[in-house]
Structures are given as structure tokens and as C-alpha cells.
Structure 1
């Protein structure tokens, strides 16, 4: 992983943009939408930036760049001019002050890069190739946008509005997580186009008493992680605990829910003892086992086993 993915809170934070051309327009527009307090340094700016300045959406220092500009407490610096020498000077002087800096379209001089974004209100999806293939990323973004439901923004706003009330109704994090998983899986919720529909579904689901029990699902692994089925992936994303043997490839474990407890077991005897200890837990557990093994047959009695998709030669 070349870059660590990060969403940065720029609301009311000071950001410096050196340059006032077309590239600066694109970056400043995104920065303003993120709530940043933008200062532009350039002897001239594009008409669009002039309109932003007149509307009070950013500040224009009508002058050539000088290092003195960096004496202000900016948390982020963008160099967007068409002069590479000047951009590299901005980079050098910003780094001397310990500032994060991005020289647009000059990757070696970037502390951070901006990904391709899908923006659905509170839902933001970032896609990046680390600068390796922008066209591939654009195609991928178009593919993802084509399958995303149109009401994502509505669902996110509704979930945000219930953060306090759900805590009063369901005191534990696990109970709230389970509730939201069930809520967003409802057909009425998936098809909702108004808040009223969501309110009704929310109230009805809260009234339901659905006790939790220990649920164990066995998932086979091999060397090719792409042979996992959608059912297996969905189960892995819902599990609160993951048990796996040493030979299980990390690619399989890495696809499980990020906050799931992960435990290594050495053999079927140790696994049997651990499952006995977990009997009283109200958890969903995924156990990875090698494809085709019969070593765990007795432990699997009455439980689901999800195999890998088969491979065929053309």
C-alpha cells in the first residue's frame, strides 16, 4: 500500500494555494466545499476565482509568491502554478516549516494525493491508484457509481440523525451495530425515497425483540482469495470474531470486518476447546479451514460451511 488512506477535516482550517489558474480553480472549489479557509497567492487569478473572492469564499493575496506567506499557520499547502521551479521552491519552503504540501501533477513532491471521489452527501468513496493509472481509476469510479443506490445520501443523513436516540434505546455498541445491519437490509429501507418511510421502518424494528445466539460459520480457504463467494464475503463482514489456522493466507483474513476479534488456533483440539469457551457468547463467528479438509467434521455438526467457487479450464 503506497499511500495511507485518510479523510482530513478541513472545516475552518487555513489552507494556502499558490497559483490562480485552471488547476487552482479545481482544487480551490473542492477545498471550499470541504469548508477550508483558503488563501490564494497569485498576481492574477482566473475569473472563477475572482467571483469566489468577491463572494467572500476565499482570500486573494494579489502578489507574487514569497516565503513570508508561509509564516501564517497553514495546515496544508498546494502549489498549482505552471512553473515547476516555483512549485519546487514552494515545496522546499513548506517542508522546512513542517507543512503538508502537494505540488499538483508532480507526485515526487506530494506528501498527499487527492483520490477520485464519489460524493453522495455524507457518503464519500475515495478511489486511488497512487497516481499510477488515472484512467483506470476513472473507469472504476464510473462502474461503482452505476451500482450504488440513489438514496445513499438519504440513508446516511437518517442514520446520523438517530445517533443519540439509538444510544438511549440500545445501550451497547454490539446491539446498535446489529440493529443497523438489520435496518439497512430491509427492503423498505433499500427502496426508500423519503424520510417518513425510514422513520416507520426504524420504529417498527426497534419494537421487535430479536434475541441473539452464538452463530458459527465455516469458510474454506485455498491460495486464491478471488474464489470466495459473495455469501462468504458477506458473512465475513458481519462476524464479530474470526478464528483461523496458521496456514490461512492473510488475504482471506484481511477481508473480514476490520473490528472483528482475530484468533489463531493450532489444531482441531485447541479449536474445540475455544468453541466450548465461546458457547455462551452472543456472537457471529467465522472459522477458516483448508478447502477439502475433513478434520473438523465433528465440530461442524449442524453448522453452515461455505466452500470456494470451483475453477474450470476453458
Structure 2
């Protein structure tokens, strides 16, 4: 990962925008959508800065950076402290696609593919899940059990499959339904190599879903990075005889051929 993706709350905050023209107008629209207040030069309390200049961009960026601001320079990734991604807006769901400034066209193409997949009602589902947090905690007091129930509901074909566009009453109906706890499940991923690009689609999907990852100490960090950030890692040379609740994975090491 070349950059840390974050979502910044700009509502009511001051954002410096230096420059004029189409590029500056595009950044202004982006800032306005996020609720930021735009000023043309540094002010005390400013959060971040954008520079959209054909000439003098490096000097303007250096001056703003000296004021303690993180700076984005349009079309100059080498001068940027941060870049702005292509955005899929299903408020309150926001999906950002970035390339670290390598190719805005590629980010746009990926965004368009995602746009076509996600229904316009996705934001309504997020709002309903937020409103049901108390009810979900009451239904599943154990945090791990609650997460597994939510994961199952949001999985492809699940009661709340986000791509299927569940209706307004779907969350309430899901909470009211009978639920049978899924048994502990252990899956093996036989690594073809130490390169994460060699992972099969099945392996990549399981890594994104697993609650526990069992793996030898020599497993490459690049492979482990494909797993959920909150999945529990267990360093072991053998798969577990009695896996914990939820989905566990055993990462069988790649066979080295001489």
C-alpha cells in the first residue's frame, strides 16, 4: 500500500484553494460537497490546501506546507502530501479509488465499474444498519458473534446483500428472523507462491472473510496483508485441531521447487 486511505471530516472547516480555472473549479466542487469553507490563501485554522496553478505551484505548495498544512498540487503527484481519489457516492457510503497519482484515468475506470454494481439505495441500507446498532447488540451481545451475523447477512445472497438492493424493511426483518449460529469452519489455502497476485479468486475471497488466520512464521507479509485487518493471526506450523468459532484459514506454505 503506497498511501494511507482516510476519510476527512471537512464540514465547517477551512480549506485553502489556490488557483483558478477548470482544475480549481473541480476541487472547489469537491470541497463544497464535503461541507468545507474555501479561502484563497492561508488562514489560521485551515485544515488542508489545494494548489491548482500552471506556474508557481511548487513555491505555493512549499509556503503552505511551511504553515503546517498538508497540500495537494493538481497534476503534480510528486508535490502532493495527499491525492484525491475517484469517488463513488452513496451517502453515507463513500467508496474511494486511488492510484497514488499514477493514473486518474484508471481510477475513473474502476470507479465506473463499481458505480454500475452498486444500487442507489446502498446509502439507505447503511443508515438502517446504523439505526439498528442497539438492536443488534441486544440480539448478539458477543461482539464476535454479532460480526459473524452481520457478515453472513451482507454476504452474496444474504438477507442484506448490498448489491441486491434490499428494501427499507430488510434490516428489521433480518433482526426478527430466526438465526442459527454457523459452526466453526476451517478452510485450507494452498499457496502457489509467495506472490499475492498468484492467489486464486477463492483464496482472495476467503482471506477477506476469515475471522482467524493460521499460518507458518515464514508466510510472506504480502500474503497476510490480503486478509482482513481485524482477523486474528496465529503463528503455527500446523493447522488447528479444534478451530475457534467462525471461519478459520490454514495457509499451507508454497512448495519451493529447485
So what's the TM-score if we normalise by structure 1?
0.71
CA–CA distance in 1 between the matches of 2:191 and 2:203? 10
Distance in 1 between residues matched to 2:34 and 2:134, nearest whole Å: 25
Q: Compute the displacement of 1:244 (Å).
A: 0.9
* Separation in 2, partners of 1:137, 1:219: 30
- Between the aligned partners of 1:197 and 1:2, the Cα distance in structure 2 is 38
| Structure 2, unaligned runs of 5 or more | none
Find the aligned partners of 2:128 and 2:222 in 1 and give their Cα distance. Answer: 34
- SS of 1:112 mapped into structure 2: coil
CA distance in 1, matches of 2:65, 2:8: 19
| Alignment match, 1:49 | none
* TM-score between both structures, scaled by the size of structure 2: 0.85
- Residue number in structure 2 paired with 1:148: 118
Higher fraction of helix: 1
* Pairing 1:255–2:229 present: no
1:81 aligns with 2:44: no
Say if 1:173 and 1:129 are closer, same or farther in 2 by CA, change over 3 A.
same
- Deviation track 1:212-252 (CA, whole Å, cap 9, x = no partner) reads 54322111112154443433333322221111124433333
Cα shift readout 1:154-175 (whole Å, capped 9, x = no counterpart):
3222222212322233222212
Q: CA, structure 1 residues 225+37, in 2 after alignment: closer, same or farther (shift >3 Å)?
A: same
Aligned residue-pair number: 252
Give the match for residue 18 of structure 1. 18
SS at match of 1:189: coil
Confirm or deny: 8 A CA contact 2:11 2:34 kept in the other structure.
yes
Residue 203 in structure 1 maps to residue 203 in structure 2: no
Report the equivalent of 1:65.
none
Q: Tell me, yes or no, if the aligned pair for 1:116 and 1:138 is still in contact at 8 Å.
A: yes
Q: Which has the larger radius of gyration?
A: 1
**In structure 2, distance between residues paired with 1:127 and 1:144:** 10
Q: Which residue of 1 is the match for residue 186 of structure 2?
A: 216
Equivalent-residue separation in structure 2 for 1:112 and 1:155 (angstroms): 30
Structure 1, unmatched stretches of 5+, are 42-68, 294-314
Q: How many Å apart are 1:105 and its aligned residue? A: 1.7
1:176 aligned partner: 146
Which residue of 284, 299, 302 maps to 2:247?
Answer: 284
Evaluate the alpha carbon distance shift between residue 71 and residue 25 of structure 1 in structure 2; reply closer, same or farther with a 3 A threshold: closer
Q: Rate the CA distance shift 1:258–1:292 in 2: closer, same or farther, 3 A.
A: same
Moved more, 141-150 or 117-126: 141-150
Deviation at 1:288, TM superposition (A): 0.8
SS of equivalent to 1:142: helix
CA distance in 1, matches of 2:20, 2:81: 21
Cα distance, 1:140 vs. partner? 2.2
Q: Is the 8 A contact 1:15 1:36 kept in 2?
A: yes
Could you tell me whether the CA contact under 8 Å between 1:102 and 1:112 is conserved in 2?
yes
